[in-house]
Amino acid sequence: MATIKKEDCTCPRRKKPTCSHKPYRVTYREPGGRAGSPRQVSFKKLEDAEAFAVKVERDKDLGTYINPRAGLRTFEQVWTEWVEAGTLEESSKRNYESVYKNHYGPFFGSKPIGSITPTTILEWEADQKERGYRESGINGRKNVLSSVFNYAVTAEIIGRNPCKKANPRKQQRPMYTPVTDDDIPTMGEVLGIVAEAPKLVRAGFWAMAGCGVRPGEALALSDEAMDWESSILTVDHQVSAYGCQEISGYRRGVKRGTKHRTFDEARRTPVPESINEIFSDHIDAFGTWGERSWFFESPRLNDRHPSYDWFLDQFKAAARAAGTPQYTPKSFRHFFVSEAIHAQIPLFEIAAWVGHRTTRTTELVYGHLVRRAMERGARTMHNRLGLKLAPFKGLIIPPRPFPGEGDSEGWDDVA
């Protein structure tokens, strides 16, 4: 059991209320009985010492005890441990470094992680708003922040995640931003952007719009990944700003695997006949290179993939020249998914083609399109069934279209 002992200081009586000493010392053992390490924590006030003594014994009984010294680690130390403990891509780690410097480090970096409370989180949100950041961006960064605290709880560094108590009545926005009609280009706008694209990578633009691949995946198209007879593309590589040196020989290059998937978990997506011809024409015009017969080669360096950033710049320039500067490469994926949903292709098929983790992601991002597809489905079934059932209104169970053998009941009654 935790015990409380008062050890008086040598300060004059009149100065004791304001002196820095903590006379009330709580002594207890960590979980493990006699094998548990003895601990001591001092407090200024008796009521604080009593509250801590009760809490530490309760936590030991419930199995939720956390060593208070663990919470003295700074947020920066725990953040670094969280980043390194995951399986993040090198590019993602670089992005997190930038986010940390701009949004987390200045506010949380030097604070002991155990001292961060829900109030601290609210103060950070207010600071973000004062700096002019949008609420959607703040909520996204708060989700990342919550993941760090969840890791700290699992690692027994702190007892609770302070983000879960910050604004408990406030409805959190989803991590995925829903797509609107303004985010989806029309077929004419897609054609306009493709027409302004450099011929060297124009087939990559078509791959994004016609196959739903990401920009890095489009740059990693190869003859080996194509099943020309079945018109199926295997998506198992991507060009990244932080590529795999084992393959490309350079940090900036191609890497095995794609977002959310390893090389062994490659996804397959259908290739429209017209896109199949475009790929074939591209090979006839520019040839291929490398062991996998890559489609695209750097315009400046032989046997090198085009830079990911260069590819994005080419898209932006083409979109501006076409008079639609609001679109990004991701807009072409939106076009692909939109057309697939309009064609009433099952969501699980679409999610597999574009590389979403689950159909839930597809529903969250393209929710308004899914709802429209459901409305069309209901109208289709109404047109198919509703008008045919008109003579049977009032019946709970409509009769079978054809009576079975020996079934003479039902038809005369309806007639």
**Residues with Cβ < 8 Å from 82, sequence gap 6 or more?**
147, 148, 151, 152
Name the nearest CA neighbour of 27 among 41, 37, 47.
41
Give yes or no for a contact between 227 and 234, defined as CB atoms under 8 angstroms apart: yes
3-class SS of residue 239: strand
Task: For residue 244, give both structure tokens.
Answer: 């795999």
Give the integer Cα–Cα distance in Å for 362 and 351. 6
Give yes or no for a contact between 242 and 91, defined as CB atoms under 8 angstroms apart: yes
Name the nearest CA neighbour of 145 among 114, 77, 99.
99
**Residues with Cβ < 8 Å from 412, sequence gap 6 or more?**
none
Give the integer Cα–Cα distance in Å for 211 and 202. 14
251 to each of 174, 188, 240, 246, 304, how far by Cα in Å?
34, 38, 9, 9, 11
CB count, 10 Å around CB of 122?
14
Can you give the pLDDT at residue 66?
A: 65
Give the integer Cα–Cα distance in Å for 160 and 150. 8
What is the amino acid identity at position 204?
Answer: G
Burial pattern 338-361, b for ≥16 Cβ within 10 A else e, equals bbbbeeeeebeebbebbbbeebeb
What's the chain's length in residues? 415
Task: For residue 403, give both structure tokens.
Answer: 């009576």
Model pTM?
0.57
Can you give the pLDDT at residue 367?
A: 79
First to last CA, the chain: 86
Domains and CATH numbers, the chain: 3-65 (no CATH), 72-165 (1.10.150.130), 181-352 (1.10.443.10)
Task: For residue 253, give both structure tokens.
Answer: 């290059």
23 to each of 11, 72, 136, how far by Cα in Å?
11, 21, 48
Q: What is the mean pLDDT of each run of 10 residues along the chain (415 residues)?
A: 84 82 83 72 84 78 67 89 77 82 92 88 91 86 89 82 68 66 94 95 95 93 94 90 50 68 82 94 94 92 87 95 95 94 89 88 82 70 62 57 50 45
Q: Using a CB cutoff of 8 Å and minimum separation of 24, what contacts does 281-284 make?
A: 281/203, 282/202, 282/203, 283/223
Give yes or no for a contact between 147 and 82, defined as CB atoms under 8 angstroms apart: yes
**Residues with Cβ < 8 Å from 394, sequence gap 6 or more?**
none
Where do we find the tokens 């935790």?
Answer: 2
